[in-house]
Amino acid sequence: MTATEHETIFTYGAPALKYGTGASDEIGYDLTQYGAHRVLVVTDPQVAATGWPRRIADGIAGYGIETEIFDGVHVEPTDVSMQKAVDFARGTGPYDAFVAIGGGSAIDTAKAANLLTSNDGELMDYVNAPVGGGRAPDRPLKPLVAVPTTTGTGSESTTVCVLDVLSLRVKSGISHLRLRPTLAVVDPRLTVSQPAGVTAASGMDILCHAAESYTAKPYTEFERKRPEQRVPYCGSNPLADMFAEQSLRLLSWALPGAVRDGEDLKAREAMALAATFAGLGFGNAGVHIPHANAYPIAGQVRDFHPDGYPGEEPMVPHGMAVSLTAPAAFRFTFDAAPDRHLRVARLLAPDFEWPGDFADHLPAVLIDLMRQIGIPDGIGAVGYTESDVDSLVEGTLKQQRLLATAPREASADDLSGILRESVSLW
């Protein structure tokens, strides 16, 4: 390939951002700036129980805006649970704006409801190929205000919504620029009620967002695209790198601090900012192998019940699923970008006692942190054995949108090796 055939352009997009203590009290005013008169608030039962969605809805109503609350979001949403939200929005609408209050599950569910009340078709029409039809929306979506109550998913910044397709036992998503929220309102007060287990899992999601985007295939190494071929994940680039580095600096002390003491407001504020920075980075650069592996790890779970999450159904929370193969994945990708992997390790743990092999530096840092904050010891600790690896590899290979961003191409055999190495981490 000649130099002229390589990509020379990177793209960057982000929602408007309002950050800081008390920011959620101003959402009613913000919605008036979008001309909203009737708004659907989307949340889950656990977040609804904190009182924040009602408080925010009442604040919105104070600006003369009619509000309806849907509190039926399923944590780790499925095609079935998202359809319930879509049906509710269609049945009680029309709405001219949406407000999502919760973690990535609530924000992603609101994205789906917004998409399917603004455009024709059904959910699976829009799910990424080859799982779904990969259809792009024909019409613009309504304004979406995303209010994260967990620090991690980054969904308030991204163009993606993620779901489990139950009939296929696979996790997939919908990805399009029009799904990006209009405004992200990050109020650290809303994260204080987050249990330690949720803080740990979602914190590892932040970390992997930043580390994967920073080590992603550079945008200059992709083949040149035509304008209509451009996708949100364009590869590592100078702007995304800046956000990733700052996120990692904050996480180095804030993640263990917030898990250790959930009332530590300084750590909570730093986590919220780290999550925001990571989202602004990976929402454009992309993520790669750890996230691709996470989809089948979460989608094929049998009987694992994590601390701090609803106990009715087995689940591997997304951030936890991402982290479980991250040490082995970064060991595999090290040779493609040694300096970047070492930079991530040093930002996370500047005073670490480094092992002799440079390729082991980042994996060692990750394993040490995971042990500190109570992440399970590999995929074996959430119910998988080596006999499950082939099925997990099959699920990972369906995530080509993510694998395309890896700095080193991963074959089925490579992925099998990463997963086998991840059965137990220490």
226-246 pLDDT tens trace: 998 888 889 999 999 999 999
Average pLDDT of the chain is: 94
278-326 pLDDT tens trace: 999 998 999 999 999 999 999 899 999 999 888 788 999 999 999 999 9
**Mean pLDDT, rounded, for 363-384:** 98
Looking at the structure, do residues 293 and 269 belong to the same domain, yes or no?
Answer: yes
Instruction: Look at residue 367 and tell me whether its pLDDT is greater than 80.
Output: yes
Q: Are 284 and 237 in contact (CB under 8 A)?
A: yes
CA distances to 125, 341, 357 from 351, rounded to whole Å, are 50, 16, 17
What is the three-class DSSP state of 100?
A: strand
Q: Measured between alpha carbons, how far is 384 from 149 in angstroms, rounded to an integer?
A: 30
Looking at the structure, do residues 66 and 167 belong to the same domain, yes or no?
Answer: yes
What percent of the chain shows pLDDT beyond 90? 81
Q: Are 188 and 265 in contact (CB under 8 A)?
A: yes
Last residue of a domain, one of 138, 157, 186: 186
Domain assignment present for 291: yes
Q: What is the pLDDT of residue 130?
A: 85
Run of H or E residues at 66: strand 66-70
Q: Which of 69-73, 166-170, 216-220, 383-387 has the lowest mean pLDDT?
A: 166-170
Residue type, 382: V
C-alpha count within 13 angstroms, C-beta hemisphere, residue 238: 2
Joined together, the tokens standing for residue 315 give 């689940």
Domain assignment present for 124: yes
Number of domains in the chain: 2
Instruction: Look at residue 197 and tell me whether its pLDDT is greater than 80.
Output: yes
Run of H or E residues at 269: helix 265-285
Going by pLDDT thresholds of 50, 70 and 90, the confidence category of residue 1 is very low
Q: Are 227 and 327 in contact (CB under 8 A)?
A: no
CATH number at residue 74: 3.40.50.1970
Query: Hey, how many other C-beta atoms are within 10 angstroms of the C-beta on 119?
Result: 17
Range of the domain at 347: 196-422
